[in-house]
Amino acid sequence: MSWTDERVELLKKMWGEGQSASQIAKELGGVTRNAVIGKVHRLGLSNRAAASATAKAEPKAKPAPKTEAKPKPAPKPAEPAKAEAEPAAPRPLPARKQIIPAGQPLPPQPSANEISPEALAKVSEIEKKAKKITLMELTERTCKWPVGDPATEDFWFCGLPVQQGKPYCEAHVGVAFQPMSSRRDRRR
């Protein structure tokens, strides 16, 4: 099945009328619901769910001032508190969705503060003695601790003999598998 100009026009027309992807697929024939959805996205057609939600939100916005006028003292102090709490909630979302491009250093990880200085010193000594192997050279018996940025040519794996039952050598096991903190022990 190919997307001819006629089929694309029919898709646009039916999508604009609010028909579902399944209905459009049946009408076109020889195409699946997922193919219709994919074509809609590639064509950049509007998301009807967002448009209908906006249309529904507008009538709700009109009655809102009327409800504010009825209850006088109690809602007015509560509304500013809600307004202050609502903008704070969207702010953390972009941080969760933040994508760090290849080649850029990762932000400091919370667990890095919990690693003992002795373990870090041991790791730096071990990494000087590491075999510096590539991904293709890794085996069950070689330490799989990555060193460096995978987007650069200076990236390598430790390659020293692993500790039994672990994917890393003794030094890297000491960093990777930290004991639970005393605060977490108390919760249990």
Report which of 12, 81, 182, 89 is spatially closest to residue 24, judged by C-alpha positions: 12
Classify residue 171: in a domain, yes or no.
yes
pLDDT of residue 76: 52
pTM of the prediction?
0.37
Classify residue 3: in a domain, yes or no.
yes
Domain hosting residue 60, numbered range:
1-72
pLDDT of residue 122: 78
Alpha carbon distance 119, 181 (integer Å): 16
Alpha carbon distance 180, 174 (integer Å): 13
Report CA dihedral (77, 81, 83, 88) to the nearest 10 degrees. 170
- Placement of tokens 């373990």 in the chain: 119
Listed residues 41, 56, 72: the one ending a domain? 72
Contact between 175 and 123 (Cβ < 8 Å):
yes
Q: Do 68 and 3 share a domain, yes or no?
A: yes
Classify residue 34: in a domain, yes or no.
yes
Q: Do 67 and 120 share a domain, yes or no?
A: no
- Kindly give the confidence (pLDDT) of every residue in the chain, 188 residues in length, as a single tens digit, with 9 standing for 90 and above: 688 999 999 999 999 999 999 999 999 988 999 999 999 888 888 776 555 545 555 555 455 555 445 555 555 555 555 445 455 445 554 445 566 677 666 665 555 456 677 777 777 788 888 888 999 999 999 999 998 888 888 899 999 999 898 999 988 888 887 766 655 655 55
pLDDT of residue 162: 92
> For the chain, what is the domain count?
2
pLDDT tens-digit map of 49-86:
555 545 555 555 455 555 445 555 555 555 555 445 45
Classify residue 122: in a domain, yes or no.
yes
Report which of 156, 127, 162 is spatially closest to residue 141, judged by C-alpha positions: 162
